[in-house]
Amino acid sequence: MSFVNPYFLWALGALSIPIVIHLFNFRKTTKIFYSNTKFVKQVQQQTLQKRKIKQYLVLASRLLFLFFLVIAFAQPYLSPKENSGTQKNIAIYIDNSLSMSVPVAEKTRALDEAIRMGQSIVSLFPPETQYQLITNDFASYSNVLKTKTEVNDLLSQIRLSPISRTADDIKRKVIGPSGTLFWLSDFQKSTFGKTSIDSTWQVRLIPLYLENQANVHVDSVYLENPFAIGGEKNSLRVVLQNTSSKSVEGLLVKLSINGIQAGTASVNVEANNFVDLKFDVASKLHGFNKGIITINDFPVSFDNQFFFTLNYSSKIKVMEVRAQGSAPYIEKVFGNKETFFFQNYSPTNINYSLLQTADLVVVNGIDKLDV
């Protein structure tokens, strides 16, 4: 038997706690004086026997509870039975990230093709072979070796997942000292990257070549005026990127703020190019607002929504404490009354209540403040 998390076995030392409690009586005794102890001795002998049995049962239940709790966290699994001393582990990793929704052939998703290949791999080995099936979800079944029937049933249940895993994550998930790993993926650069596989494992990389589908996604979203002041007009800029070698025409783009549609646009995006859109944002917005940019792009649809927030603040409070004769440069910098609430004071006439609420305090030309 092996363990996925063997370091949890150190917690078995906690079994000594109930044993110590059992061996030492921490209860304080109370003395009661009797004139005749004949009947008390008879009662004491009977209760002691029952109490010992009860204490042993309580001790056993505590020990068993702690033991199985530690074993559950350690996640034990049975290694596959050796076939003449030569049988090795068979691990199958199927990448079920959202990029696997792209077709590899007409009307066939990459994930469906990977599942079909996984079933074909299972059929190549003897019936007694056991398998480890890994997906990006890192489900509990991936910690236990499965039979041919069980792994075929699990393959049919694989669905797309928003979780992505790196090659190092998969390498750490594989159990067993040696074996063969079948790696079925579209091998995105962001997830595979550089890695090193244990030389005791034979890795079979099975790439799924995606069709060259036109795909547009939201690259970035920003405000023309970065100082988002509540009650003032602003414009939202949306940058779209076409990462494919095919042009996209008539792409519908929608802007929603707080669940209400705030704007639409139809654009053409050239192959491997960017497009910058502009949406006017309503001036009645205040405080915290949730926004969504939605595009109507198929068949690659998992990146069709971009979520963002608009956090409008009141005017930025700037307070200047300026010495007599100092140049009014600070007032010119923050003189935009639409964005800033600016006030200046002399060192002898400071409003300390406003000083506490100011977002920015500028001390101009003063060597010493009398507080």
Percent residues over pLDDT 70 in the chain: 86
DSSP state of 14: G
* Full-model pTM: 0.57
Q: What per-residue confidence (pLDDT) applies to 42?
A: 62
Asked whether 175 and 2 are in contact (CB, 8 A), the reply is yes
Tens-place pLDDT, residues 227-238: 777 777 889 999
148: tokens are 């041919």
Asked whether 34 and 108 are in contact (CB, 8 A), the reply is no
The CATH architecture that domain 216-311 belongs to is: Sandwich (2.60)
Instruction: Compare 245 and 44 and report the one with higher pLDDT.
Output: 245
Percent residues over pLDDT 90 in the chain: 32
Q: Where residue 26 falls among pLDDT bands split at 50, 70, 90?
A: low
Q: What per-residue confidence (pLDDT) applies to 82?
A: 43
- The secondary element (H helix, E strand) that includes residue 20 is helix 16-23
3-class SS of residue 364: strand
pLDDT at 83 over 50: no
Q: What per-residue confidence (pLDDT) applies to 114?
A: 95
CB atoms within 10 A of CB 278: 11
371: tokens are 């507080």
71: tokens are 């074993």
Helix axes 38-74, 16-23, angle to 10 degrees: 170
Q: What per-residue confidence (pLDDT) applies to 220?
A: 94
Instruction: Compare 195 and 367 and report the one with higher pLDDT.
Output: 367
What are phi and psi for residue 237, nearest 5 degrees?
-100, 130
For the chain, give every domain's residue range.
Answer: 2-77, 89-207, 216-311, 316-364
Tens-place pLDDT, residues 124-175: 998 889 999 999 999 989 988 999 999 999 999 999 999 989 888 888 888 8
Q: Where residue 193 falls among pLDDT bands split at 50, 70, 90?
A: low
